[in-house]
């Protein structure tokens, strides 16, 4: 199969690499010349386990190419996949300018039948707009060329994207054309051969499915975080509650871990966009608005606990922060809870010493050089001279630290655990004051 992918960001690069790994000839197009040059040198601009090896292997085999030449991309692929960004507008709606610009480019250059696939996360009705852009561009040329528009949303988890693509839970395809459906099935056959995961539906349902999936997961997170606040007030342990409800197969254990709120490039943006879409359709999205409000408040919970312990003014104090990325196995700090924690600590007059296994460079890019932020090379270095330790991201290396060493190096034996990775009884035996999320009096 000949595949063209517009956009070499997270979704486009993973998609292109995995399709090439299955033997397809893939051309990735991006307007960012610097990014394309790095990719051509074998440098990967994002942290994703396993991605670098796949990109290099398929680039060396000639199955994966990178270019800024949109004309070459349009000429190349039977499948034209749109995987460009859809950043939130000021009102929270998805910005479709890049998506529609790509559609216009395809329409201006296409010379034969192709399938135009929207893989970017887009509101319901976007495929119709893409189709109109294509028709308008073709009409301006006086050309009559057949094409189809398909919705094929991605369901990739950062940190596990390769596994998700190669062994998907589902492949959702929105099309009303039986021939197009069979071509899409052939494209995905290497990834779905051993499991019946290919789901065909109408285009608008496919578009809504992506938003619905992310909104459901965000809802579970906000529900548990709100319940954690109640657990603290009534003296219950939310971790015990989590085990009690997670054992019910109707609920399950996924996404019911309390913490400092969700972040990243998907959940915050997609919940906002779905809220905006609902309002545009005349529906009041009460639950979704509450999900968003609970999450925004939860990002401040650690700082509230810090202020409750040390006082409202934190001037002259220094806090060690473990974790900057919004989740483990990524360097993505978009909407990361750590950013809110850092900025609130600064606003209270505190300094921050932070460590993250892979996101330090991203933090440096975001904040630059400043006297109240030190990015350290290891976790223990971050705690040197700090008044207390705050844990924001649950990287595996934080799970079993040397507590005796921590107690000696911290000015105060105090840990604020935003991910509930420690046992309160164990921390008490080591002599720490331990503040967790929703763990009864230990979380107060």
pLDDT in tens, the chain (444 residues): 999 999 999 999 999 999 999 999 999 999 999 999 999 999 999 999 999 999 999 999 999 999 999 999 999 999 999 999 988 777 778 889 999 999 999 999 999 999 999 999 999 999 999 999 999 999 999 999 999 999 999 999 999 999 999 999 999 999 999 999 999 999 999 999 877 799 999 999 999 999 999 999 999 999 999 999 999 999 999 999 999 999 999 999 999 999 999 999 889 999 999 999 999 999 999 999 999 999 999 999 999 999 999 999 999 999 999 999 999 999 999 999 999 999 999 999 999 999 999 999 999 999 999 999 999 999 999 999 999 999 999 999 999 999 999 999 999 999 999 999 999 999 999 999 999 999 975 444
Q: Measured between alpha carbons, how far is 227 from 230 in angstroms, rounded to an integer?
A: 5
Reply yes or no on whether 114 is catalytic. no
Q: Measured between alpha carbons, how far is 117 from 119 in angstroms, rounded to an integer?
A: 6
pLDDT value at position 400?
A: 97
C-alpha dist (Å) from residue 91 to 99, 129, 130, 277 = 18, 20, 22, 11
Cβ-count burial of 124 within 10 angstroms (0-12 exposed, 13-18 middle, 19+ buried)? buried
Query: Phi/psi of residue 22, each to 5°?
Result: -85, 5
Between strands 351-355 and 198-201, the pairing is unpaired
pLDDT value at position 289?
A: 97
Residue of 18, 28, 114, 266 with catalytic role: 266
- Look at residue 256 and give its three-state secondary structure: coil
Q: Measured between alpha carbons, how far is 415 from 85 in angstroms, rounded to an integer?
A: 38
E strands in 77-219: 79-82, 114-118, 147-151, 171-174, 198-201
pLDDT value at position 94?
A: 83
pLDDT value at position 265?
A: 86
pLDDT value at position 441?
A: 54
């Amino acid at each position: 199969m000949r595949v063209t992918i517009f956009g070499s960001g997270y979704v486009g690069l993973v998609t292109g690499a995995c399709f090439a790994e299955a033997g397809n000839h893939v051309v990735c197009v991006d307007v960012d010349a610097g990014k394309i040059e790095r990719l051509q040198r074998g440098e990967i601009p994002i942290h994703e386990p396993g991605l670098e090896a796949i990109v290099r292997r398929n680039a060396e085999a000639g199955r994966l190419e990178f270019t800024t030449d949109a004309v070459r991309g349009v000429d190349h692929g039977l499948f034209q996949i749109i995987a460009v960004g859809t950043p939130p507008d000021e009102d929270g709606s998805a910005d479709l300018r890049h998506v529609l610009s790509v559609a216009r480019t395809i329409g201006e250059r296409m010379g034969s039948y192709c399938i135009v696939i929207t893989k970017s996360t887009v509101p319901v009705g976007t495929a119709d707009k893409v189709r109109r852009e294509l028709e308008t561009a073709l009409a301006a040329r006086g050309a009559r060329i057949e094409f189809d528009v398909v919705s094929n949303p991605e369901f990739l988890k950062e940190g596990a994207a390769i596994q998700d693509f190669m062994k998907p839970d589902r492949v959702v395809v929105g099309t009303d054309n039986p021939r197009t459906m069979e071509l899409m099935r052939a494209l995905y056959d290497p990834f779905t051969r051993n499991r019946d995961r290919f789901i065909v539906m109408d285009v608008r349902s496919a578009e809504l499915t992506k938003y619905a999936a992310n909104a459901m997961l965000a809802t579970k997170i906000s529900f548990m975080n709100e319940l954690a606040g109640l657990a603290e007030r009534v003296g219950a342990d939310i971790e015990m509650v989590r085990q009690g409800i997670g054992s019910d197969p109707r609920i399950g254990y996924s996404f019911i871990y309390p913490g400092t709120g969700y972040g990243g490039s998907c959940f915050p943006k997609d919940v906002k966009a779905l809220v905006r879409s609902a309002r545009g359709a005349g529906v009041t999205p009460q639950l979704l608005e509450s999900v968003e409000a609970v999450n925004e408040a939860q990002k401040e919970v650690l700082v509230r606990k810090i202020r409750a312990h040390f006082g409202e003014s934190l001037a002259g104090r220094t806090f060690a922060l473990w974790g900057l990325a919004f989740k483990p196995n990524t360097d993505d700090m978009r909407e990361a809870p750590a950013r809110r924690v850092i900025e609130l600590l600064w606003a209270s007059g505190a300094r921050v010493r932070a460590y993250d296994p892979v996101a330090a460079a991203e933090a440096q890019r975001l904040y630059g050089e400043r006297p109240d932020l030190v990015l350290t090379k290891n976790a223990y270095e971050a705690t040197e001279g700090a008044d207390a330790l705050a844990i924001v991201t649950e990287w595996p290396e934080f799970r079993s630290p040397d507590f005796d060493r921590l107690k000696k190096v911290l000015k105060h034996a105090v840990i604020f655990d935003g991910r509930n990775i420690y046992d309160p009884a164990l921390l008490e035996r080591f002599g720490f004051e331990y503040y967790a999320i929703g763990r009864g009096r230990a979380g107060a």
